[in-house]
Amino acid sequence: MRRKNNKIGIIGFPMDLGADRRGVDMGPSAIRYANLEKKLESLGYKVTDFGDIDVEIMETQKARNSKLKYLPEIVRTSKVLAKKVESILNRKYFPLIIGGDHATAIGSIAGISAYCKKNKKTLGVIWIDAHADMNTPETTPSGNIHGMPLAVSLGLGEQKLVKMGGFAPKVKIENVALIGIRDVDYLESKTIKKLRPQIYTMTDVDKFGMPHIVSKVLNDFKERVDFLHISFDLDGIDPDYVQGVGTPVPGGLTYRESQLLMEMISDSGMMSSLEMLEVNPILDVKNRTAELATELIASALGKNTLFE
């Protein structure tokens, strides 16, 4: 990886309010336990762990809105996360956000986008996930906000989330690429067809191969993006490799496809921030999903077969 800087700032977002299934709030601890800091230091980085954002647990709250469960606490903590991410970017750290459910991306992208706006940079996002996460309160079948973060970042949905930081959208649709998608809700699919993002389902991965897809995305982004954020939901990978995720979907990315994806992103030198989300230790076996998460992080940050 052609490094933009040598300092990594880790931020944990231990939240599981965005989903019905509990446990991903322990994801940051599981990833840290899998020797994350040591692996990054072995690659020559200076690592600072800024700890976890404080998030109230589900038992202290009520899901008052069935279409936007736990909205007040998700809004509050997302604002804190956004400010923290923007702050460490201002201090020239590479932000590494570990979660937590994918609603984490609402705050992380809000903070990154605010930084980009003030520094006249164009944000691009690669969204690696089994799900498109483009639901809104009008389309969601569950009311779970972890199914909405990409829509929110694109300026769609609940205004308390959309207008976080005082502006929207956080990223333009032409600067978003989704990879590994294979589980989309019916009404959500109508939104996707209307907006027409650059989206690569698992059928596309099977047909064209990961190298072709990643090369196309990176070449497209190279022309118009100067800050690239990677948002990686571990359920983008096939459940055979990641048992510790809350919403597994068969037929996902293989171990090698996932590693190749991250290695190619690393080789491009374009990545400016990264989040690794949805590790659920309750469902995991011997912390293997968190171990894979740290391997993927290391690959994105320059680890390869010959050199470390």
Q: What residues act catalytically? A: 102, 129, 131, 133, 146, 233, 235, 278
State how far Cα 214 lies from the chain centre.
17
Q: Which residues contact 119 (CB under 8 A, 6 or more apart)?
A: none
Distance (Å, rounded) from C-alpha 38 to C-alpha 33? 10
* CB atoms near residue 2 (< 10 Å): 10
The Cα–Cα gap between 71 and 68 comes to 6
* C-alpha closest to that of 150 among 102, 99, 115, 116: 102
DSSP state of 179: E
Residue 93 is classified by DSSP as: P
Give the strands of the sheet with 271-277, arranged side by side.
Answer: 46-52, 7-13, 94-99, 271-277, 227-233, 123-128, 176-181, 198-201
- Residue 12, classed as helix, strand or coil, is strand
Report cis status (omega within 30 of 0) of the bond before 169.
yes
Element (H, E) at 177: strand 176-181
